[in-house]
Chain A
Amino acid sequence: MNAVLSIAWRSAWSRRGTLALVALSVALSTFLLLGVERLRSDVRENFAQSVSGTDLIVGARTGPMQLLLYAVFRVGGATNNVRMDSLQAIAKHRAVAWMVPLSLGDSHRGFPVLATTPAYFEHFRHGDRQPLQLAQGRAFSGDLPGLYEVVLGAEVAERLGYRLGDKIALSHGGGEMPGAEHADKPFTVIGILRRSGTPVDRTLHISLQAMEAVHLDWVAGVPLPGMKISAEQARAADLEPKQVTAALIGLKNRAAVFAVQRAIADYEAEPLMAVLPGVALDELWDVVGNAERALLAMSAMVAVVSLAGLVAVVLAGLNERRRELAVLRAVGAAPRHVLLMLAIEGAMVTLLGVALGAAAVALAIVALAPWLQSAYGITLTLSAPSAEQWGLLGAVLAAGFLASLVPGWRAYRLSLADGLSPPV
């Protein structure tokens, strides 16, 4: 066994050029397979961590996923707003502990602006019921003197290089129309949140009243011609919002969640809906799950192709090694030693490939994590492979070893047939 192992190693080393290419293709497929699985589980984890402690999300009637996507992930938009008096009526329900209205729509250099109440910082939870924490400064006060105050998510502050006291202007809508800026009403950065790994990091937070104020002289997405209300004049206007985009609701007792959900759905003055964030997330995964599985299946196919390559390369090289096999038999090796040698070779190449692939995944995570975080808000962390990921690695290894038995078996047959006289 030891003899065979060392000979197999030396023999493989002498053909290292070809075998390295095979190992590289195994590495590539491992990288794909593990990378996809890694991204899949981390993205899922990220999404699941984005909201907790909120029992219901209320919005105008739409799809539950759509409501979840814009209220929590700032993806897409609402088709209809919710009247503030409806929300206030719901907040009076005896099971409701708190209600935080959310108003979306504006942006600042690509980052979404969320208008809400100071209660947001108190009630919003992510991950394992962790509250938002301020890294610097304080939350906006929500009163008139502090009207033009903004609290930045960690990513916004870091990417745009903002510090406390900086003045910034918000853009109307997604910022796609040049010149549609609320430049006349600049905001002062008064707080920067600690990084949470959720969409909050990419959000600018202002008060609902501030949102009203910047839109006083706007109608239907354009500034009213000839009408200019200065930042100071705005303070005198009625800034109580009539409508918002959605609201987060916390209950005194979670057991009442379906009763409250029904009460909201049955609310007569306005068509509303309420979703349980966990249920909506599950629905989202059902949709995304198919794409995930397809991606994983593709990666598995790539792995199969690369292992087929391994078989083909070793098989093709076998004819040139018949002399080597005859020499081995002449010095006392049995055909089963030859089979073992080829199997060891296959196992070594696959192991090397899998190790390289896993290392490449780790390297890619380290290299790409900051970019993924800033571009997509997805936090990738370098951690030991999960049980599933070990399973994938093990499957590639096992498949590689099994695949290498094919040329091994061929060599066994050749060795039996050729004996000591291989065709020259």
Chain B
Amino acid sequence: MIELVALRYRWPGTAQDCLAIDALHVDAGRTLFLHGPSGGGKSTLLGLLAGVLLPREGTVSLLGTPWGALSGARRDAFRADHVGYIFQQFNLLPYLSVLDNVLLPCRFSSLRRQRASAATGSPQAAAAALLQRVGLSDALWARAASQLSVGQQQRVAAARALIGQPELVIADEPTSALDGALRDSFMALLLQQCRDAGSTLVFVSHDERLAALFDASLSLSQINRAKA
């Protein structure tokens, strides 16, 4: 699923690598917890996994395709087809309705649109089903995303990442803006939905207590040999 070999990455204009990972392998359908302190290169690694950044050396492959082998436009299309992404917060476009936010990946990927339709008949129906499953009542669907609470917004973001069953879901500290009970219910829901959809989940957080919920757990500072 994810294959990472001899990766070296440094930000443009810097002299030192910020990431140096010899190997990382994630099987399809697994859930991986990546632990790392803030500023430890977590977001950079996720950017590399999502094909937004390219390594200076080494390869990052998704579904057997090295990101570096694709042109810029193909990388964007490949990401649209196969990757769902959840940010720490501010996931939604405030000027779109909740339903339209969930449907966004289907606008940019025909593959996701087809898969969503195949399961439930139409992308709209798929989005509605997902919103139902993440516990957002239909009264909220037509609302502007900006009117939702932070917890509700993260659930919508999860539904959006999952629509059209992407092979990989990447979550970048999605619970850091949530407290106690909200966080637990979000985690349960995200893991359950990923398992149901058969999606691989890569989840990054500095909160080690969450590690137990995942199939595997890794510490970024242990696998990253670059000295910051």
Contacts and interface: CB of A to CB of B under 8 A. Distances in A.
A420 B50 contact: yes
B76 A333 contact: yes
Contact of B94 (A14, A326, A328): A14
Contact of A334 (B46, B50, B73): B73
Contacts of B44: 421
B95 A11 contact: yes
Interface residues of B, number: 32
A423 to B, nearest CB: 11
A329 B160 CA distance: 13
B185 interface: no
A334 B52 contact: no
B209 to A, nearest CB: 24
B107 A3 contact: yes
Contact of B105 (A323, A331, A335, A421): A331
Interface stretch (B2-10, B57-65, B77-85, B210-218): B77-85
A178 B44 CA distance: 90
Given A14-B95, A331-B85, A420 B47 contact: yes
Nearest to B94: A14
Given A10-B96, A419-B52, A323 B47 contact: no
A19 to B, nearest CB: 12
Interface residues of A, number: 23
Nearest to B96: A10
B53 A332 contact: no
A283 interface: no
B85 A420 contact: yes
Nearest to B78: A332
Query: Main secondary structure on chain B at its contact with chain A?
Result: helix
A419 B47 contact: yes
B52 A420 contact: yes
A156 to B, nearest CB: 60
A420 to B, nearest CB: 5
B192 interface: no
B95 A13 contact: yes
A327 B107 CA distance: 13
B97 to A, nearest CB: 9
Contact of A330 (B53, B85, B95, B100): B85
Contact of A324 (B93, B108, B109): B93
Interface string A411-424: 00000000111000
B52 A327 contact: no
A7 B91 CA distance: 15
A81 B120 CA distance: 97
B95 A421 contact: no
A128 to B, nearest CB: 57
A420 B51 CA distance: 10
Contacts of A163: none
A329 B46 CA distance: 13
A327 B76 contact: no
Contact of A326 (B73, B87, B95, B100): B87
A10 B107 contact: no
Contacts of B108: 3, 331-333, 337
A331 B86 CA distance: 10
A3 B160 CA distance: 16
Given A331-B108, A332-B108, A419-B53, A323 B73 contact: no
Contacts of A327: 87, 90-93
Nearest to B146: A14
A16 B57 CA distance: 46
Interface string A285-300: 0000000000000000
A327 B157 CA distance: 10
Contact of A336 (B73, B81, B109): B73
Contacts of A323: 90
B191 interface: no
Interface in B14-33: none
A414 to B, nearest CB: 13
Given A10-B95, A330-B85, A421-B44, 5 more contacts: A323-B90, A327-B87, A332-B109, A332-B112, A333-B76
Interface of B: 43-44, 46-47, 50, 52-53, 72-73, 76-77, 79-81, 85, 87, 90-96, 100, 104-105, 107-109, 112, 160, 172
Interface of A: 3, 7, 10-11, 13-14, 323-324, 326-337, 419-421
Top 10 nearest A-B pairs (CB, nearest first) are A332-B80, A332-B108, A14-B95, A3-B107, A334-B76, A419-B52, A330-B85, A331-B104, A421-B43, A10-B95
20 contacts: A7-B93, A11-B95, A327-B87, A329-B76, A330-B87, A331-B80, A331-B107, A331-B160, A332-B108, A333-B80, A334-B76, A334-B77, A335-B72, A419-B47, A419-B52, A419-B53, A420-B50, A420-B52, A421-B43, A421-B47
